[in-house]
Amino acid sequence: MVNTNRHPVGSQDYPRTMQEFDSWFASEAACLDFLIRLRWPDGFRCPACDNQKGWATTRGNIRCSKCQRQTSAIAGTIFEGTRKPLRTWFQAMWYVTSQKFGGSALGLKRVLGLGSYQTAWAWLHKMRRAMVRPDRDRLNGRVEVDETYVGGKEKGVHGRQTERKAIVAIAIEIHSPMGFGRVRMRQVPDVSSDSLTEFVKYAVEPGAVILTDGWTGYNDLQQEGYTHEVVLLSAKGDPAHVALPGVHRVAALLKRWLLGTHQGAVSTKHLCYYLDEFTFRFNRRSSRARGLLFYRLCQQAVQVGPSYYAQIVKPKKSLHHNIQYLRERSG
Ligand SMILES: [Zn+2]
């Protein structure tokens, strides 16, 4: 039985292996039943009469046993309006979460035999929207913060100036004596003090220790309630030493993932959703059970609202500055 009040258990709350996945989700009814239990963890309640008993129908609805009213189990989820079987969606979610580096639209199209690349691409975007909870906690403790540049090659542009590349701000918890914790990242419009301070306030709890390089864009952190420490490369004396090893590592992994899995075919206006997928996977990297990622994705898929193809393909121009994105995330 699915129980969301305690830590989910493999083979009990979620399938651990491909074989288990296949036997658990052999039919539409089984998939629907799983979603219903995730959506109403304390049991279904009819919105019309508050009755707690109902039956799943073949069309994805629950029929109240008392007033006969039908409630859609997938309205208001990422599956709303889909013409494909839920089972195909489950396979897509399994495909994306069971692989270490996720999957590309082309890969998903092939594996599921989807008719078009566009469908596969839109599905991945819908799933990405379910990968990050809007109410997630901010980072804490010791946190490294830096920016990195993602995108096409540019000649003759140096340092922090950029024309076409996207700027991604990264924050990562540093554990003592070694190791890294959770990560947060977001596309920022520039590396001004306003933008970077706003990012830190979004990503990190006040009172945390923020480690940065000597860039002046971080000079306002102290007055926002953070303890700011500047890490200087030259102070360490070792030329091979990396001043901020956490963000350096994450930036390298992010670029490798975008170039490898997605072959660099990520446009700036969609980048924030890829950052969500990267974050989802990175923050669960120590989880040995891939099925747990599947479970979390299903759980969040029934909690975030639907998004439609046109909205995904042509986000408003302001998306470049994360406005539409943030509206989605806060609503
Ligand atoms: Zn009812």
pLDDT in tens, the chain (331 residues): 444 457 889 989 999 999 999 999 999 989 998 999 899 888 888 989 999 998 888 777 889 999 999 999 888 889 988 889 999 999 999 999 988 888 899 999 999 999 999 999 999 999 998 898 766 889 999 999 999 999 754 445 455 545 478 999 999 999 988 899 999 999 999 999 999 999 999 999 999 999 999 999 999 999 999 999 999 866 555 655 678 999 999 999 999 999 888 887 777 878 888 999 999 999 988 877 889 999 999 999 988 766 666 666 665 544 444 445 555 555 4
The dihedral built from the CA positions of residue 74, 79, 84 and 86, taken in this order, carries a sign that is negative
What CA dihedral angle connects 84, 90, 91 and 92, to 10 degrees?
Answer: 80
- Measure 63 CA to ligand 1 centroid, in angstroms: 8
Between CA 96 and CA 103 the distance in angstroms is 5
From 217, 218, 186, select the one nearest 202 (Cα to Cα).
Answer: 186
Angle at alpha carbon of residue 272, lines to 270 and 276, rounded to 5°: 125
Q: How far is CA 312 from CA 61, 67, 92, 229, 237, in A?
A: 26, 38, 18, 39, 48
- Measure 43 CA to ligand 1 centroid, in angstroms: 14
- Measure 249 CA to ligand 1 centroid, in angstroms: 53
- Measure 67 CA to ligand 1 centroid, in angstroms: 4
Residue identified by tokens 């279904």 is: 44
Between CA 309 and CA 119 the distance in angstroms is 9
From 258, 97, 237, select the one nearest 89 (Cα to Cα).
Answer: 97
From 161, 174, 150, 115, select the one nearest 272 (Cα to Cα).
Answer: 150
Between CA 187 and CA 195 the distance in angstroms is 10
Asked if 258 contacts 150 with a C-beta cutoff of 8 angstroms, the reply is yes
- Measure 41 CA to ligand 1 centroid, in angstroms: 18
- Measure 66 CA to ligand 1 centroid, in angstroms: 5
**149: three-class secondary structure by DSSP:** strand
From 201, 137, 121, 212, select the one nearest 174 (Cα to Cα).
Answer: 212
Rg (CA), the chain: 22
- Measure 83 CA to ligand 1 centroid, in angstroms: 27
Which pLDDT score is estimated for 236?
A: 54
Copy the structure tokens of residue 158: 């140096």
Residues 6+ apart with CB under 8 A from 203: 138, 139, 143, 145, 169, 171, 184, 185, 186
- Measure 239 CA to ligand 1 centroid, in angstroms: 70
